[in-house]
Amino acid sequence: MALYSEKVMDHFRNPRNVGTIADADGVGQLGNAVCGDIMKIYLKIENEIITDAKFETFGCGSAIASSSMATELIKGRPLSEALQLTNKAVAEALDGLPAHKLHCSVLAEEAIQAAIKDYYDRRNDPTGSRPA
């Protein structure tokens, strides 16, 4: 059995949503000191809906694939749904990740939560559906 699924390899070789959003409404950046991966997620939001999501990731193939899949999963979704995205859902959408690479999907989940928190912080909105 191959170490990586075809979906992981596809999102690594042909990542979706790579880049930045100059006028992003929310930006989240996280890093993993153990492996050295750094993930930055940019969100464009209109009426509480994520209309665009982009990423910049410095890291391994699993980190790039997780970033790519995570942005695909949240585009067009309400913020409340995007906040529910779990690392497990990202890994499942990629048809699995090796156990020692699951931290990459966790990084994607947490970077999205950080970007949404940044959106609410910028709006100074104490009633928004903020991540914990």
Structure token pair of residue 96: 């699995």
| Dist CA 113 CA 28 (whole Å) | 7
60 counts as catalytic: no
Question: Dihedral through CA 42, CA 66, CA 30, CA 17, nearest 10?
Answer: -20
CB atoms under 10 Å from CB of 82, counted, come to 25
Query: In sequence order, what are the residues at sequence separation of 6 or more whose Cβ sits closer than 8 angstroms to the Cβ of residue 67?
Result: 15, 17, 39, 41, 55, 57, 108, 111
Of 70, 85, 104, 116, which is the active-site residue?
104
| Dist CA 50 CA 46 (whole Å) | 7
Of 18, 35, 38, 60, which is the active-site residue?
35
35 counts as catalytic: yes
- 112: phi then psi, degrees, rounded to nearest 5: -65, -45
**Residues forming the active site:** 35, 104
